Protein backbone atom coordinates (compact mmCIF):
# COMPACT_ATOMS: atom_id res chain seq x y z
CA UNK A 1 0.00 0.00 0.00
CA UNK A 2 1.13 3.52 -0.70
CA UNK A 3 1.62 5.91 2.17
CA UNK A 4 2.58 9.57 2.12
CA UNK A 5 3.93 11.57 5.03
CA UNK A 6 4.11 15.32 5.15
CA UNK A 7 5.61 15.93 8.56
CA UNK A 8 5.21 19.71 8.59
CA UNK A 9 1.57 20.66 9.21
CA UNK A 10 2.42 24.33 8.88
CA UNK A 11 5.35 26.39 7.63
CA UNK A 12 6.00 30.12 7.48
CA UNK A 13 8.31 32.00 5.15
CA UNK A 14 9.15 35.64 4.74
CA UNK A 15 8.28 37.15 1.39
CA UNK A 16 11.20 36.80 -1.09
CA UNK A 17 12.82 34.06 1.02
CA UNK A 18 13.14 30.35 0.25
CA UNK A 19 11.25 27.53 1.93
CA UNK A 20 11.37 23.75 1.59
CA UNK A 21 8.40 21.47 2.18
CA UNK A 22 9.15 17.84 2.91
CA UNK A 23 7.43 14.67 1.76
CA UNK A 24 8.31 11.04 2.24
CA UNK A 25 6.43 8.14 0.79
CA UNK A 26 6.33 4.42 0.50
CA UNK A 27 5.29 2.59 -2.62
CA UNK A 28 5.51 -0.87 -4.12
CA UNK A 29 5.33 0.54 -7.62
CA UNK A 30 8.46 0.26 -9.73
CA UNK A 31 7.45 3.01 -12.11
CA UNK A 32 5.64 6.00 -10.72
CA UNK A 33 5.27 9.73 -10.77
CA UNK A 34 5.25 12.33 -8.05
CA UNK A 35 3.30 15.53 -7.93
CA UNK A 36 3.01 18.61 -5.79
CA UNK A 37 -0.33 20.42 -5.82
CA UNK A 38 -1.30 23.64 -4.10
CA UNK A 39 -4.77 24.43 -2.82
CA UNK A 40 -5.33 28.11 -1.96
CA UNK A 41 -8.06 28.83 0.58
CA UNK A 42 -11.46 28.00 -0.89
CA UNK A 43 -9.97 27.45 -4.30
CA UNK A 44 -9.23 24.45 -6.43
CA UNK A 45 -6.20 22.20 -6.56
CA UNK A 46 -3.52 23.49 -8.91
CA UNK A 47 -0.59 21.48 -10.22
CA UNK A 48 2.73 22.91 -9.09
CA UNK A 49 5.27 20.43 -10.39
CA UNK A 50 5.63 16.86 -11.58
CA UNK A 51 8.55 14.41 -11.42
CA UNK A 52 8.95 11.10 -13.22
CA UNK A 53 10.57 8.60 -10.85
CA UNK A 54 12.77 7.14 -13.59
CA UNK A 55 14.39 10.50 -14.21
CA UNK A 56 17.41 11.35 -12.12
CA UNK A 57 17.25 15.04 -12.92
CA UNK A 58 15.16 17.04 -10.48
CA UNK A 59 12.22 18.88 -11.99
CA UNK A 60 12.07 22.66 -11.95
CA UNK A 61 9.24 25.01 -12.80
CA UNK A 62 10.15 28.66 -12.51
CA UNK A 63 10.51 29.37 -8.76
CA UNK A 64 9.56 25.81 -7.83
CA UNK A 65 11.98 22.89 -7.77
CA UNK A 66 12.09 19.46 -6.21
CA UNK A 67 14.75 17.41 -4.49
CA UNK A 68 13.90 13.83 -5.41
CA UNK A 69 15.81 11.12 -3.56
CA UNK A 70 14.45 7.85 -4.92
CA UNK A 71 16.35 5.50 -2.63
CA UNK A 72 15.26 7.47 0.41
CA UNK A 73 11.73 7.87 -1.00
CA UNK A 74 11.87 11.57 -0.37
CA UNK A 75 10.34 14.28 -2.53
CA UNK A 76 10.72 17.79 -1.17
CA UNK A 77 9.51 21.01 -2.77
CA UNK A 78 11.59 24.17 -2.71
CA UNK A 79 9.95 27.51 -3.32
CA UNK A 80 12.35 30.33 -4.08
CA UNK A 81 11.58 34.05 -3.89
CA UNK A 82 8.34 33.33 -2.04
CA UNK A 83 5.37 35.51 -2.94
CA UNK A 84 2.16 36.29 -1.08
CA UNK A 85 0.27 34.29 -3.70
CA UNK A 86 2.17 31.16 -2.71
CA UNK A 87 0.18 30.97 0.53
CA UNK A 88 -1.83 27.75 0.33
CA UNK A 89 -2.05 24.13 1.40
CA UNK A 90 0.53 22.05 -0.43
CA UNK A 91 -0.08 18.38 -1.07
CA UNK A 92 2.43 15.77 -2.12
CA UNK A 93 1.05 12.91 -4.23
CA UNK A 94 3.04 9.95 -5.52
CA UNK A 95 1.11 7.78 -7.92
CA UNK A 96 1.34 4.57 -9.85
CA UNK A 97 -0.71 4.01 -12.94
CA UNK A 98 -3.65 6.18 -12.01
CA UNK A 99 -4.40 6.55 -8.35
CA UNK A 100 -3.16 9.58 -6.48
CA UNK A 101 -2.47 9.09 -2.79
CA UNK A 102 -2.30 12.48 -1.13
CA UNK A 103 -0.50 13.45 2.03
CA UNK A 104 -2.22 15.43 4.77
CA UNK A 105 -0.74 18.65 3.45
CA UNK A 106 1.46 21.49 4.65
CA UNK A 107 -0.08 24.88 5.17
CA UNK A 108 2.32 27.55 3.93
CA UNK A 109 2.04 31.06 5.28
CA UNK A 110 3.89 33.87 3.54
CA UNK A 111 4.73 36.84 5.73
CA UNK A 112 4.94 40.31 4.21
Stretch that binds other proteins, among 14-22, 31-39, 55-63, 79-87 (CB under 8 A): 31-39
Cβ atoms 101, 2 nearer than 8 A:
yes
Element (H, E) at 21: strand 19-21
Minimum distance, C-beta of residue 62 to other proteins, in the bound complex (Å): 17
* Residue 50 binds other proteins, judged by CB under 8 A: yes
* Residue 51 binds other proteins, judged by CB under 8 A: no
DSSP per-residue letters across 59-73: PEETTEEEEEETTTT
Fill in the per-residue mask, 52 to 71: x = in contact with other proteins (CB under 8 A), - = not in contact: --------------------
Amino acid sequence: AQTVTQSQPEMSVQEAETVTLSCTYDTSESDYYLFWYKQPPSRQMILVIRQEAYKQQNATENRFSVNFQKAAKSFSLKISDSQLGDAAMYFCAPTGTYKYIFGTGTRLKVLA
